[in-house]
Structure 1
Amino acid sequence: MSCALVIGATSTLGKAVVRRLAFTGYKVAAAADCPNSVGKVAEDNIKVGGDVTAFSLDVANAEHRKELITKVAEKLGGLDTLIIVPPQNEVLGEIIETSGEDFDKLFANNLTTPFRLSQAAMSTLAKSQNGSIIYLTSCFGFTPSIDMGLYSVASSSVLSLTKSVAQSAAKQGVRVNSVVSGMIEGDGTGAVWDHASGEEARQIKQHLESMIPLGRLGRPSDVASYVEFLASTKARYITGENCIVGGGVSYRL
């Protein structure tokens, strides 16, 4: 049975990823900072037959990261996949107006911590027959948004991180990819539509859906399904790829 560690398991996308992997038979380590919240995620999945264990940690703490990897490998019998879901974005506005505090926090959440987690887990993942790392990020990394300027830059950095870490990790037999989400309901990247309500929200959603070839906003389960594929042996020859889940919207050639 494959073992997966999901960082950020209490966010909207994190919960969807945990549920999808548990449903398909993975042993899942669900990790987040709040013990009560991540415990609830594990409990909800156990009730429907999932093999999910909760872990609470401060991902910004190097000792916590090292200890987490060790505990997960011991309790789950190894580690095959590390999935890193960043915290939901709360930094809105034009990039030129960004505060130093917001800049440091956003890059720590989206770039520094995922990289440090990858370093901490690499030797353990290298022992797997199908070791992989999957970062979650946003299509704003390809197409900047004026009202989410700094988030666009941070997301773009994850695309580059994926490519660079994949080249190095390949020497140890570990694959590295990212799942790049477009307009997803409730994931925190929606800026305007996530903060609207009532008739305004309905009109915004209708307008956005008219711009998407498949005719709807994405769902967290759409992202989770792609994560499951990239973690599986079906993707064993895929690495260094930034894989878009965008409903047909053109973000790149």
Structure 2
Amino acid sequence: MYLMLRCTIKYASSSGFQNSEQMSCALVIGATSTLGKAVVRRLAFAGYKVAATGDCPNSIGKVAEDNKKVGGDVTAFSLDVTNPEHRKELIQKAAEKLGGLDTLVIVPPQNEIRGEIVETSEQDFDKLFADKLSIPFRLSQVALPTLAKSKNGSIIYITSCFGFQPSIDMGLYSVASNSVLSLTKAVAQSAAKKGVRVNSVVSGMVEGDGTGAVWDNASEEEAKQIKQHLETMIPLGRLGRPSDVASYVEFLASNKSRYITGENCIVGGGVSYRL
């Protein structure tokens, strides 16, 4: 079935998973990235009704269809998330289709910017801060009135450990990631007055979260060596997986975390990023 969201396409699917969270509704922004797909799958598996978004109709449609095949209740919206009118209409249409909205999860696009911050171009600077800070903030603003109607409304940002520990090779990414840590704290203060919780999941070295820019441009052998070196530095002995991040998202969206807000929650395999 095809439904129109202005110039966008939506695909609907039927529900299959069943548990205590089955009536909860979540909107996942950036659902075609590696982390985004993992979050959609985790929430759908937990019984959520999920609205998944992406800028490519075919790609986001495939995410919905893949989850439909295993019983997930996932509806796909294709839109330009940089467009204020599209953002406003998305929240309205998603809430109408799902029957409400309890959780907004914002997964930023995968980072492809490397290098020292002093060498950053104006274009790269503006794009990365739009992806990591401006657009998530604007989405939060427009979604807050709808989330406030939920008995367990929440916003969950995804960011990186580089926000705590800058890297000279990922300088701009570090600063942009750090901005999300502050955004979480600030929005949580205001949103709490409306009964909405705001947290972030801070991923350590996870393949698919944007930190892969450290090794993406390396040769196969160099990438292997980099990953092996990183694994020796991680107490649990491996890089993080997208499913590790998605599981934390599920927890923060659930009633189990109903007294947690304003927290930047690290998924880092035991690496100490802060006390």
Q: Which range, TM-score by smaller chain?
A: over 0.9
Quick check: 1:178 aligned with 2:200?
yes
Number of matched residues?
A: 253
Aligned to 1:229: 251
Residue 186 of structure 1, CA deviation: 2.8
Match of 1:49 among 63, 67, 71: 71
SS in 1 for 2:202: strand
The amino acid that maps onto 2:64 is A
State the Cα distance separating 1:196 from its structure 2 match. 2.8
Mapped partners of 2:117, 2:266: distance in 1: 24
Letter in 1 for 2:35: L
TM-score (structure 2 length as normaliser): 0.91
**Deviation string for 1:106-155 (max 9, x for gaps)?**
10110000000000000000000000000000000000010110110000
| 1:107 matched to 2:143 | no
* Aligned AA (2:45): F
Per the alignment, residue 217 of structure 1 pairs with: 239
Partner SS state of residue 238, structure 1: coil
Q: Which runs of 4+ in 1 moved over 4 A?
A: none
Judge which range, 195-204 or 2-11, deviates more.
195-204
TM-score with structure 1 setting the length: 0.98
The structure where helix makes up a greater share of residues is 1
Task: Note the 1:89-238 alignment, pairs <5 A.
Answer: 89-238=111-260
How far 1:205 moved relative to its partner?
1.3
In the other structure, the counterpart of 1:32 is 54
Q: Hey, what's the Cα distance between the residues in 1 that align with 2:198 and 2:38?
A: 20
More displaced, 123-132 or 182-191?
A: 182-191
Paired amino acid for 2:149: K
Task: Report the identity percentage.
Answer: 86
CA contact (8 A) 1:13 1:187 kept: yes
| Alpha-carbon distance in structure 2 between the residues aligned to 1:243 and 1:174 | 17
How much has 1:91 moved relative to structure 2? Answer: 1.1
Matched, 1:71 2:71: no
The separation in 2 between residues aligned to 1:81 and 1:40, in whole angstroms, is: 22
Tell me whether 1:21 sits opposite 2:37 in the alignment. Answer: no
- Distance of 2:216 and 2:209 partners within structure 1: 8
AA in 1 matched with 2:119:
E
Q: Which runs of 5+ in 1 are unaligned?
A: none
